[in-house]
Amino acid sequence: MKRIFLKVLIFCSTALYSQSMENFRFQKEANLVKHFSKIKNTGSNQTLLILEDAWSERPSIGDELAVYGSNNNLNTSVVYVGNHTGLSLWGDDLYTEQKDGLTLGESFEIRLWDASENKEYLLSVEEWAKGEGAFEQNGLSVVKEISYVSFSSTDVLLDVYPNPVNTEANITFELKEDFVVHMELLNFLGQVVRSINNMTCLKGENLLLLNVQDLPSGIYNLKIYGAFGESLHQISVIE
C-alpha cells in the first residue's frame, strides 16, 4: 500500500512540475514580442483576459496582440501562445509630465499582428463577459467574443532599411492612389520624437529618408497614416 501511495505521489509531483514548467515556458514566450514594442510598467494596471474560445478565427502561435489607447499610443503587447490570453494594461503615471498610460475611463482598442503575413489587424470585441473596453485601475475585463474587423493598413505597404539603423533609414511605402501622408516615429513611451505632416505622396512607391543619428539606442515604432488608414513598422536604432 505504501509503495502504491508513493508511486501516486511521485506521479502527481511529476505532473505538477511538468505543468509548472509548461506554464513558465508559455509565460516566457509571451514576453518575447518582436513586432510591437515592450512598454514601461507604470505600476498602475488593469487585467484584460481573452478567453480561449472567444475567437471567431483563432490566431496562430507566435502572433502578437497589442492594446492601443485613444491617442493611438501603444499601451501593452504580448505574444499569443494559445489558451487564455492575459494582458496587463498600464495606467498613466501621475508623477510624470508626459502621458505614459491609460487614464481612468479611457477607451482602448485591441490589435493583432499576423506573423505569417506580417500584417496588423484591428479586432472587435463582440461581447464582454466582464467589464468593458475602458480603463479601470485594478479592474478586470474579460472578452467572451472577439473577431477581426479590418486590416489597419489596407492601402499602404511599408518597409524600412537598413534595420537596425544607426544613421539614416530609408522608408519606402507603396500607395494605391495619391494621398496626403503623415509620419511619426515614437519611442517606447509613445512619445513622438520625429514627425512629418501633410506630405502629398503619389500613387506607387514613395521614399523618405529618416535621420536617427541623435536618437538613443532602442526600439521605436514608425507610423505612416492618412485617409487610407495606417501602417506600423518597428525600427531598431543602434549606436
Q: Which residues have C-beta within 8 Å of that of residue 230, sequence separation ≥ 6?
A: 152, 153, 156, 223, 224
Residue 40 lies in a domain: no
Work out the pLDDT band at 18, boundaries 50, 70, 90: very low
Check whether 35 has a pLDDT greater than 50: yes
Q: Give the least confident one: 10-24, 54-68, 198-212.
A: 10-24
Q: Are residues 22 and 70 in the same domain?
A: no
Q: Are residues 118 and 65 in the same domain?
A: yes
* Residue that is last in its domain, among 129, 151, 173: 151
Check whether 178 has a pLDDT greater than 50: yes
Residue 218 lies in a domain: yes
Q: Are residues 14 and 101 in the same domain?
A: no
Q: Are residues 19 and 92 in the same domain?
A: no
Domain carrying residue 96 = 45-151
What cell was used for 131? 467589464
| pLDDT score for 26 | 42
Share of the chain above pLDDT 70, in %: 81
| pLDDT score for 117 | 81
The total of structural domains in the chain comes to 3
Sheet containing strand 179-186, strands side by side: 192-201, 179-186, 218-226, 229-237
Q: Are residues 160 and 225 in the same domain?
A: yes
Share of the chain above pLDDT 90, in %: 33
Higher pLDDT, 94 or 122: 122
Q: Tell me how long the chain is.
A: 239
Higher pLDDT, 152 or 57: 57
Residue 37 lies in a domain: no
Q: Are residues 194 and 122 in the same domain?
A: no
Residue 102 lies in a domain: yes
Which residue type occupies 191? Q
Higher pLDDT, 4 or 33: 33
Q: Are residues 103 and 162 in the same domain?
A: no
Residue 36 lies in a domain: no
Q: Are residues 167 and 201 in the same domain?
A: yes
Q: Coil, strand, or helix at residue 7? A: helix
Check whether 151 has a pLDDT greater than 60: no
Check whether 134 has a pLDDT greater than 60: yes
Check whether 209 has a pLDDT greater than 50: yes
What cell was used for 220? 521605436
| pLDDT score for 210 | 94
222 and 156 in contact (C-beta within 8 Å)? no
| pLDDT score for 58 | 94
3-state SS of the chain: helix, strand, coil percent to 5?
Answer: 15, 50, 35
pLDDT (average), residues 113-120:
83
Q: Are residues 224 and 179 in the same domain?
A: yes
> Cis ω on the peptide bond leading into residue 59 (within 30° of 0)?
no
pTM above 0.75, yes or no: no
Q: Is 203 exposed, middle or buried (0-12, 13-18, 19+ CB in 10 A)?
A: exposed
Helix (H) / strand (E) element for 13: namely: helix 2-30
| pLDDT score for 148 | 83
| pLDDT score for 150 | 58
Find the distance separating the first CA and the last CA of the chain, reported in whole Å. Answer: 67
Q: Are residues 51 and 9 in the same domain?
A: no
| pLDDT score for 81 | 93
Q: Are residues 145 and 60 in the same domain?
A: yes
Residue 125 lies in a domain: yes
